[in-house]
Amino acid sequence: MEKLLARVSALAVAAVLAFAPSAQAQSKQLTLCWAAWDPANALVELSKDFTAKTGIGMKFEFVPWTSFADRFLNELNSKGKLCDLLIGDSQWIGGAAENGHYVKLNEFFDKNGIKMSDFMPATVLGYSEWPKGTPNYWALPAMGDAVGWTYRKDWFERPEIKAEFKKKTGHELAPPKTYDQLKEIAQFFQGRTIDGKKVYGAYIYTERGSEGITMGVTNVLYDWGFEYEDPKHPYKMRGFVNSPDAVKGLEFYKSLYDCCTAPGMTNAYMQEGLDAFKSGQVAMQMNFFAFWPGLYKDPNVGGDKIGFFANPAEKKHFTQLGGQGISVVSYSPNRDGALQYIKWFATPEVQKRWWALGGYSCHKAVLNDPGFPKSAPFAQGFLTSMGIVKDFWAEPSYAQLLLAMQKRVHDYVVAGKGTAQEALDALVSDWEKVFKDDGKM
Amino acid sequence: MSEHGLSIMEHVARATPEAVARRVRGLSDRAIQWLFISPTILLLLAINIFPLVWTIRLSFTNYRANRPNARLLEIGIANYVSVLTDPDVWAAMQSTAHFLFWTIFLQTSIGFGLAWLVDRRFRGHGFWTTVILIPMMLSPAVVGNFWTFLYQPQIGLWNYALQFLTGIPASSFSMIGSVKLAPWSIIIVDTWMWTPYVMLICLAGLRSIPDYIYEAAEVDRASKWRQFWTITLPMALPFIMLAVLFRGIENFKMFDMVNLLTNGGPGSTTELASITLKREAFEKWRTGYSSAFAIILFVTVFGLANIYVKVLNRVKNR
Amino acid sequence: MTATTLAHSVVEPSGRSKGIAGTVIVVYAVISMVPLVWIFLTAFKSPSDSIAYPPKIVFHPTLDGTCNLFTTISRQTADYISSLPPPMNVCDRIARARNMVVAGPSNFVPRFLNSLIIAFGSTALSVVLGVTAAYAFSRFRVPAKDDLLFFILSTRMMPPIAVAIPIYLMYRELGLSDTHLGMILLYSAVNVSLAVWLLKGFIDEIPREYEEAALVDGYTRLQAFRKVVLPQATTGIVATAIFCLIFAWNEYAFATLLTSGQAQTAPPFIPIIIGEGGQDWPAVAAATTLFLVPILVFTVLLRKNLLRGITFGAVRK
């Protein structure tokens, strides 16, 4: 027993000592943090070239979207040293800049001849700048992205389905240009049996925990005329967030959710959408462009069977911005290596290869190439979408603003509590409270 | 324990307290006592009490852990007032109460029933008891995560089994998706996990009842039914109450399983107090506010548990 | 004991009642095992079988789940794949068959190791602290003993999220965030209350006379503790250690809030294993199976002391 106890104590001491300061970080290795999704796996493949060129090894830390923000904002707030490079979400930029989580890159860009004018303006505004509209850069645009739609081209092209749609609605069955058309098509497919399988009309975001339902509902709200604030008076939200148009938009999203989604899609974000589409369950899927390369290669629903369209219009035409810039974390002990990676990543050759492997480059060398729109069936849609993007608040208080919206919208759309007007009124009050606490109102 | 033990016993016979005291060498008992206790107390002070004091301190400020550079303001009891007047907090408390009531009710009734049956001591009861106990040893987080799969309306096992048995279409309802069913989905998982726990404690209670009491009741020709109500249940009651106490405290703190199973949804239907607290503290980063909330929760559970223990002791000494 | 040995004891249940009881218990046990069996089966399904409707009970077992658990894979074009050297191992082959390439190892193995380090480290620390404190509480007239014991127990009543707020701030200042040491200290603090209470019960049961005799023999108090008390308490120490180990192994709330990449354990990691689209259920199931097996072993080992452990020593028999 004595020996056992001695051994156990020795083990405890050894465990404590050996792993106490986890400072066995090797200088010849960088950790890159991002979300766990198709493009990240493509980046692993791409980064092998960086390692081959510089001898610097790459480690990756990928977290699914539903815990992505929680996890890495927590990491930044705790001054963690895990990530040398972070591909953080567009809305984090305000907080990360003001609290010193990211390294400011202006000087580095100037020294190494990296010009922001080489990147698409919408991506520079969305992913790199804080305060918005000023030349203060905290990230290099890494992954352009926006919400778009996929549809089952093979179903849309079947003569019997086409004929029946025409008979029922008087319209031709084609990818929708407006949300009203989209709903009509979704209603048509809802509950239909295709190839012996019951299918559903549309897949839309409903996730509660992180940002899902907000990223879905804003696509509709923007199109109906929702504004975050009075364009003339910053932070004046009453009458804009809860305008009659915005209320109609929110009601539309709920009606789409009620009429045309698969059962059980009450807490669904990107992953569930992919599952639903890949298993042949839905006719149309709302999701981020980031997934289109992977879906296009899918053996079951890819290739000829899949088509893509940009977010439909209504009174206006916008789409929700996705995508991220790559930043250097200021707590990283490997700042030089991290900057070296960014420098490598910004070169046109790497950017071209990035697009080829399945990442959405934001570099003009890629996007302005005359062959680009034809380089993939979704390339043109991507260009169109990047011209009409709008983003959620990128304020330092973005998390609070987002969680308020998640709750209000989910309570109304999915849980069916109250009316759209009540939900948006409550949202305005929530947001006003946040900005008052921040001293901005 | 053979020869050595014997010799010790001999010594015991001879030893007198004075002799013991004279012969002790090395460190004094008092020194050893503090040497043995203080590391534990120090660890608890550092990792439990100091943070608790810090939490109390923060609960009177507007501190936010994600704004280290912001100005810190003393705001008195404002945080406590806003917690207690926040309708979301009360909604969370209501969900917690619903969850607590039904999990305890189901676990106690099923658990006691199972214990009563296991107490028949049929062949192989030891093996089957161990099998039944397995769920409670598992990680609630990992379990909660996997149950989301079992609950899926399209591909999940449960909906399919129900369709198979009753004919209700599997895709016609979603346990974790519907506002009506979601509160029950977490109750079912918790009951699956923790009924064995209550069973085990109840079993100890049943086995603590001496046989001669039943024999006396038989002699008095008391019916089995009467024996159950006048002997079995009252004598096992302190044990049942102990099980309820432990389950109550644990489920009041419930976070991991529910966080992974429903994440508080749909809407805020299953948002228990701990989940609201997590959102305020680690997603909205309202550190001051959530510190006040944390203190309120701690005082609640501590107070309730104390009252309960007093009642429990009264029942025990009856 | 005489009553049970009698042929027609009034207390001994009748054969029929035993039969009914046995049937109900076996049925309950079997149903409650269904989720675990399903996890185990899913671990060997192919991703498409795992989400098939209706759920597949008979299927062709594959290693897809296991491979996806241990590797990161990336979908690539056929041209790109044909330019690569031939597959090196079974996982590579499985990936290539689905137009994918193995991009590198996943983070599962490091997370599993973290779980082992933190669980064993904290268990060792809490048992060492627990056994000494329990001995002192059992044998000496400690001032305010009951208050101290209650204080030790009450630290366990705080919701973990509430504790995590100040710990988060404290660890941030001390640089203990996301370190093994930080997690070992934290779990030890949580477990030490259980260890003290359980071990005090076990040590109370060891007759004082043994030590006193040793003292008479010329042992110092420390020697008596080591050579007489500890060997007698072996069973209790082992049982306590297993309980501490299980807690640390299963813990999620602290791990998810206070660790990130360096010291993250398996429980916060398993739920975020995703494949190409959707949660990769076979991989999650494989991870869950690997994670649960040690617990099953421990449950069997603990059978006799389970009750004591789960009630903080309040119920001993």
Question: How does pLDDT run across A383-423, given as a tens digit for each residue?
Answer: 999 989 999 998 888 889 999 999 999 999 998 999 999 99
Min Cα–Cα distance to chain B from C252, Å: 6
Contact state of A266 with B284 under an 8 Å Cβ cutoff:
no
Min Cα–Cα distance to chain A from B288, Å: 13
Structural domains of chain B ordered from first start: 3-58 (no CATH), 80-317 (1.10.3720.10)
Q: What are phi and psi of A61, to 5 degrees?
A: -130, 100
Per-residue confidence (pLDDT) for residue A297, from 0 to 100: 83
Residues A364, A243 share a domain: no
Residues in B touching C28 (Cβ below 8 Å): 114, 132
Contact state of A267 with B152 under an 8 Å Cβ cutoff:
no
Question: CB of C46 within 8 Å of any CB in chain B?
Answer: no
Min Cα–Cα distance to chain A from C142, Å: 25
Q: Predicted confidence band at A15 (pLDDT cuts at 50, 70, 90)?
A: very low
Contact state of A16 with C181 under an 8 Å Cβ cutoff:
yes
Per-residue confidence (pLDDT) for residue A7, from 0 to 100: 54
Residues A191, A171 share a domain: yes
Render the burial of B127-143: b for 16+ CB within 10 Å, e for the rest: ebbbbbbbbbbbbbbbb
Owning domain of residue A49: 29-145+323-390
Q: What is the predicted ipTM?
A: 0.87
CB nearest to A400's CB, from B172, B266, B284: B284
Contact state of A22 with C101 under an 8 Å Cβ cutoff:
no
Cβ count within 10 A of residue B11: 18
Contact A195, A300 (CB under 8 A): no
Task: Say if A13 falls within a structural domain.
Answer: no
Q: Predicted confidence band at A24 (pLDDT cuts at 50, 70, 90)?
A: very low
Per-residue confidence (pLDDT) for residue A3, from 0 to 100: 53
Per-residue confidence (pLDDT) for residue C96, from 0 to 100: 85
Q: Say which residues have a Cβ less than 8 Å from residue A110's Cβ, sequence separation at least 6.
A: none
End-to-end CA distance of chain C: 16
Contact state of C132 with B39 under an 8 Å Cβ cutoff:
yes
Per-residue confidence (pLDDT) for residue A37, from 0 to 100: 86
Give residue C165's identity as a one-letter amino acid code. I
Q: Predicted confidence band at A19 (pLDDT cuts at 50, 70, 90)?
A: very low
Pairing mode of beta strands C100-105, A282-288 = unpaired
Residues in A touching B256 (Cβ below 8 Å): none
Q: Predicted confidence band at C163 (pLDDT cuts at 50, 70, 90)?
A: confident
Task: Say if A9 falls within a structural domain.
Answer: no
Question: CB of B36 within 8 Å of any CB in chain C?
Answer: yes
For residues C262 and C179, what is the distance between their CA atoms, to the nearest angstrom?
6
Render the burial of C285-313: b for 16+ CB within 10 Å, e for the rest: bbbbbbbbeebeebbeebeebbbbbbbbb
Cβ count within 10 A of residue C79: 7
Give residue C289's identity as a one-letter amino acid code. T
Per-residue confidence (pLDDT) for residue C158, from 0 to 100: 80
For B236, the token pair is 């096992």
Residue C261, classed as helix, strand or coil, is coil
CATH number of the domain to which A415 belongs = 3.40.190.10
The pTM assigned to this predicted structure is 0.85
Contact A440, A235 (CB under 8 A): yes
Least confident of B220-224, C177-181, C246-250, C283-287: B220-224
Distances (CA, A) of A349 to A105, A139, A356, A361, C68: 21, 19, 11, 11, 31
Does the pLDDT value for residue A17 go beyond 70?
A: no
Residue C167, classed as helix, strand or coil, is helix
Q: Predicted confidence band at A221 (pLDDT cuts at 50, 70, 90)?
A: very high
Residue B203, classed as helix, strand or coil, is helix
Per-residue confidence (pLDDT) for residue C316, from 0 to 100: 66
The 10s digit of each residue's pLDDT in C68-96 is 899 888 777 777 788 888 888 888 888 88
Per-residue confidence (pLDDT) for residue B13, from 0 to 100: 43
For residues B147 and B152, what is the distance between their CA atoms, to the nearest angstrom?
9
For residues A211 and C244, what is the distance between their CA atoms, to the nearest angstrom?
37
Contact state of B67 with A267 under an 8 Å Cβ cutoff:
no
Q: What are the start-end ranges of the E strands in chain C?
A: 71-75, 100-105
Does the pLDDT value for residue B275 go beyond 90?
A: yes
How many separate domains does chain A show? Answer: 2
Per-residue confidence (pLDDT) for residue B170, from 0 to 100: 81
Q: What is the DSSP string of A109-150?
A: HHHTT--GGGB-HHHHHHHTBSSTTSS-BS-EEEE--BEEEE
Residues in B touching C266 (Cβ below 8 Å): 142
Residues in A touching C75 (Cβ below 8 Å): 38, 41, 294, 297, 358
Residues in C touching B12 (Cβ below 8 Å): 209-210, 212-213, 216
Least confident of B167-181, C118-132, C160-174: B167-181
Distances (CA, A) of A184 to A199, A253, A258, B5, C210: 15, 13, 13, 89, 86
- A103-110: long-range contacts (C-beta < 8 A, 24 or more apart)? A103/A138, A103/A327, A103/A328, A103/A329, A103/A330, A103/A335, A103/A339, A104/A136, A104/A137, A104/A138, A105/A137, A105/A138, A105/A139, A105/A140, A105/A327, A105/A328, A105/A342, A106/A135, A106/A136, A106/A137, A108/A339, A108/A342, A109/A137, A109/A140
* Residue for token pair 């307290």: B17
Residue A104, classed as helix, strand or coil, is coil
Mean pLDDT, to the nearest integer, of A266-294? 89
Per-residue confidence (pLDDT) for residue A22, from 0 to 100: 42
Residues A336, A295 share a domain: no
Task: Find residues 199-238 of chain A whose CB sits inside 8 Å of chain C.
Answer: none
Task: Find residues 259-288 of chain A whose CB sits inside 8 Å of chain C.
Answer: 271-272, 274-275, 278-279
**Chains B, C: CB pairs < 8 Å:** 330
Q: Predicted confidence band at A357 (pLDDT cuts at 50, 70, 90)?
A: confident
CB-count exposure of residue A330 (10 Å: 0-12, 13-18, 19+)? middle
Q: Say which residues have a Cβ less than 8 Å from residue C185's Cβ, sequence separation at least 6.
A: B43, B46, B47, C122, C125, C176
Q: What is the DSSP string of A404-428?
A: HHHHHHHHHHTT--S-HHHHHHHHH
Q: Predicted confidence band at C11 (pLDDT cuts at 50, 70, 90)?
A: low
Residues in A touching B186 (Cβ below 8 Å): none
Domain definitions of chain C by residue range: 47-106, 109-310
Contact state of B146 with C215 under an 8 Å Cβ cutoff:
no
Compute the CA torsion angle A402, A404, A408, A409 (nearest 10 deg): 0
Does the pLDDT value for residue B270 go beyond 60?
A: yes
For residues A156 and A140, what is the distance between their CA atoms, to the nearest angstrom?
40
CB nearest to C53's CB, from B9, B114, B155: B155
For residues A80 and C260, what is the distance between their CA atoms, to the nearest angstrom?
8
CB nearest to A399's CB, from B62, B177, B283: B283
Contact A361, A351 (CB under 8 A): yes
CB nearest to A264's CB, from B174, B267, B285: B174
Chains with 3 or more CB pairs under 8 A to chain C: A, B
Contact state of C214 with B120 under an 8 Å Cβ cutoff:
no
Mean pLDDT, to the nearest integer, of C30-37? 94
Does the pLDDT value for residue C276 go beyond 70?
A: no
Residues A229, A88 share a domain: no
Work out the angle at residue A283's Cα, subtended by the Cα atoms of residues A278 and A286, and round it to the nearest 5 degrees: 75
Distances (CA, A) of A173 to A156, A157, A201, A233, C94: 6, 8, 13, 44, 39
Residues in C touching B204 (Cβ below 8 Å): 307, 315, 317
Cβ count within 10 A of residue B12: 17
CB nearest to A77's CB, from B66, B174, B265: B66
Per-residue confidence (pLDDT) for residue A192, from 0 to 100: 93
DSSP3 helix / strand / coil % (chain B, rounded to 5): 75, 0, 25
The 10s digit of each residue's pLDDT in B12-71 is 444 444 445 444 456 788 888 889 999 999 999 999 889 889 999 999 999 988 887 778
Task: Find residues 186-245 of chain C whose CB sits inside 8 Å of chain B.
Answer: 186, 188-189, 192-193, 196, 209-210, 212-218, 220-223, 225, 228
Task: Say if A172 falls within a structural domain.
Answer: yes
Q: What are phi and psi of C304, to 5 degrees?
A: -70, -30
Per-residue confidence (pLDDT) for residue C106, from 0 to 100: 86
Contact state of B266 with A267 under an 8 Å Cβ cutoff:
yes
Helix and strand numbers (H, E) in chain B are 16, 0
Average pLDDT of chain C to the nearest whole number: 86
| β partners of residue C75 | C100
- C6-15: long-range contacts (C-beta < 8 A, 24 or more apart)? C9/B211, C10/B214, C10/B215, C10/B218, C11/B211, C11/B214, C11/B215, C13/B120, C13/B121
End-to-end CA distance of chain B: 41
Task: Say if A2 falls within a structural domain.
Answer: no
Q: Predicted confidence band at B1 (pLDDT cuts at 50, 70, 90)?
A: very low
Min Cα–Cα distance to chain A from C75, Å: 7
Question: CB of C173 within 8 Å of any CB in chain B?
Answer: no
CA dihedral (A392, A398, A401, A402) positive or negative: positive
CB nearest to C172's CB, from A20, A79, A357: A79
Mutate to test the interface with B, among C252, C260, C273, C296 (most CBs of B within 10 A): C252
CATH 3.20.20.140 fits C109-310, yes or no: no
Residue A401: alpha-carbon gap to chain centroid:
17
* Spatial CA neighbour of C263 closest among A198, A16, A301: A16
Least confident of A2-11, A270-279, B107-116, B191-200: A2-11
Q: What are phi and psi of A230, to 5 degrees?
A: -60, 120
Return the percentage of chain C with pLDDT > 70, whole number: 94
Residues in B touching A203 (Cβ below 8 Å): none
Does the pLDDT value for residue B89 go beyond 90?
A: yes
Residue C75, classed as helix, strand or coil, is strand
Contact C258, C41 (CB under 8 A): no
For residues A125 and A137, what is the distance between their CA atoms, to the nearest angstrom?
9
Min Cα–Cα distance to chain A from C8, Å: 46
Residue C140, classed as helix, strand or coil, is coil
Min Cα–Cα distance to chain A from B263, Å: 6
Does the pLDDT value for residue B299 go beyond 70?
A: yes
Task: Say if A367 falls within a structural domain.
Answer: yes
Contact A407, A207 (CB under 8 A): no
Contact state of B66 with A417 under an 8 Å Cβ cutoff:
no
The 10s digit of each residue's pLDDT in A125-171 is 999 998 888 999 999 999 999 999 999 999 999 999 999 999 999 99
Contact state of C117 with A78 under an 8 Å Cβ cutoff:
no
Task: Say if A379 falls within a structural domain.
Answer: yes
Contact state of A11 with C120 under an 8 Å Cβ cutoff:
yes
Question: CB of A38 within 8 Å of any CB in chain C?
Answer: yes
* Spatial CA neighbour of A259 closest among A183, A206, A199, A194: A183
Residues A408, A281 share a domain: yes
Mean pLDDT, to the nearest integer, of C139-144? 86
Residues A216, A274 share a domain: yes
Helix axes C108-139, C281-302, angle to 10 degrees: 20
Give residue C295's identity as a one-letter amino acid code. I
Residue B271, classed as helix, strand or coil, is coil
Distances (CA, A) of B155 to A10, A234, B161: 49, 48, 11
Does the pLDDT value for residue A23 go beyond 80?
A: no
* Diameter over CA atoms, chain B: 82
Residues in B touching A411 (Cβ below 8 Å): 267-268
Q: Say which residues have a Cβ less than 8 Å from residue A57's Cβ, sequence separation at least 6.
A: A26, A28, A29, A30, A51
Min Cα–Cα distance to chain C from B50, Å: 9
Residue A286, classed as helix, strand or coil, is strand
- C138-142: long-range contacts (C-beta < 8 A, 24 or more apart)? C138/C200, C138/C203, C138/C204, C139/C203, C139/C208, C139/C211, C140/B29, C140/B30, C140/B32, C140/B33, C142/B33, C142/B37
Contact state of B140 with C252 under an 8 Å Cβ cutoff:
yes
Per-residue confidence (pLDDT) for residue C91, from 0 to 100: 87
Task: Return the H-helix or E-strand segment holding A151.
Answer: strand A147-152
Task: Say if A1 falls within a structural domain.
Answer: no
Residues A286, A338 share a domain: no
Contact state of C299 with B137 under an 8 Å Cβ cutoff:
yes
Residue C289 exposure: Cα atoms within 13 Å on the Cβ side = 17
Chains with 3 or more CB pairs under 8 A to chain B: A, C
Mutate to test the interface with A, among C56, C75, C106, C257 (most CBs of A within 10 A): C75
For residues A324 and A126, what is the distance between their CA atoms, to the nearest angstrom?
8
Min Cα–Cα distance to chain A from B287, Å: 12
